[in-house]
Every structure is written in structure tokens, then in C-alpha cells.
């Protein structure tokens, strides 16, 4: 079975500051890892995903994440926060890619202040 832990249910950063959202996973087999963003009353949008290969994954809107097997982590970063980044972010794990069920973390709400 797999699981995801997101440290920090709420993160607040200033506009222009570094964004770091933490995600640790547990999986008995090599995982597929995802970050999704959810704006209020909307569904989820895929930011980026790790399947195999390069451990540094670049996604949309300037976000990137690095898969670190030794640390079982997949933290999401963005060098400079923008007001429009304020949203809920979910880390998810899948054993067989998106074709199988996704196990989500509890989410991190990102607040961006002026």
C-alpha cells in the first residue's frame, strides 16, 4: 500500500519569495508521483509528475519538484511566488501511473501575501 504525507497544512509566503511545499511518500514499489493544484470550488489540475528517468521534474507555472528516493520525498518548489499561486496543492502517489488509483496527501494551502 502507498501513502503520502504533506507537512504543513498551510504555508504563507511573500510575493516573490521561494515556495517550498513538502511531500513524503511511502510505497512498496517504485512510485509514480504527482502534484496537483486546486483553486476554490474547482477540480484538480496537474502541475507535474514523476514517472521514471530524470529526478528533477519541471511543470507548469514555473513549478518543479525533485524525486529523492533516499529521502522518500517529492517536494514542490517555485523560485518566486506570485499572487496567482494561492491555492490548495495536493501531492499524490500511484503505483502504476495515473491509470491506477491515486492516493492523495491531505493538501497544503498556499497563501501569498504582498
Q: Does 3 bind other proteins (CB under 8 A)?
A: no
Q: Does 7 bind other proteins (CB under 8 A)?
A: no
Residue choice 1, 28, 29, 43 for contact with other proteins (CB under 8 A): 43
Distance CA 114, CA 16 (A): 9
Among candidate residues 81, 80, 47, the one with its CA nearest the CA of residue 64? 47
Distance CA 72, CA 70 (A): 6
Nearer to other proteins, 29 or 114 (CB): 29
Q: Does 90 bind other proteins (CB under 8 A)?
A: yes
Q: Does 12 bind other proteins (CB under 8 A)?
A: no
Judged by DSSP in three states, 4 sits in strand
List the x/- string, 94-113, binding to other proteins by CB under 8 A: ---xxx-xxxxxxx------
Q: Does 41 bind other proteins (CB under 8 A)?
A: yes
* In the block, residue with C-alpha cell 497544512: 9
Amino acid at each position: 500500500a502507498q501513502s503520502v504525507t504533506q507537512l504543513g497544512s498551510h504555508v504563507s509566503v511573500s510575493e516573490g519569495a521561494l515556495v517550498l511545499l513538502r511531500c513524503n511518500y511511502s510505497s512498496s514499489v517504485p512510485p509514480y508521483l504527482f502534484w496537483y493544484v486546486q483553486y476554490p470550488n474547482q477540480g484538480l489540475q496537474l502541475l507535474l509528475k514523476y514517472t521514471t528517468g530524470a529526478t528533477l521534474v519541471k511543470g507548469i507555472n514555473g513549478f518543479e519538484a525533485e524525486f529523492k528516493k533516499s529521502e522518500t520525498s517529492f517536494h514542490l518548489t517555485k523560485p518566486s511566488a506570485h499572487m496567482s499561486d494561492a491555492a490548495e496543492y495536493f501531492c499524490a502517489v500511484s503505483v502504476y501511473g495515473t491509470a491506477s488509483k491515486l492516493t492523495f496527501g491531505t493538501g497544503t494551502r498556499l497563501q501569498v501575501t504582498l
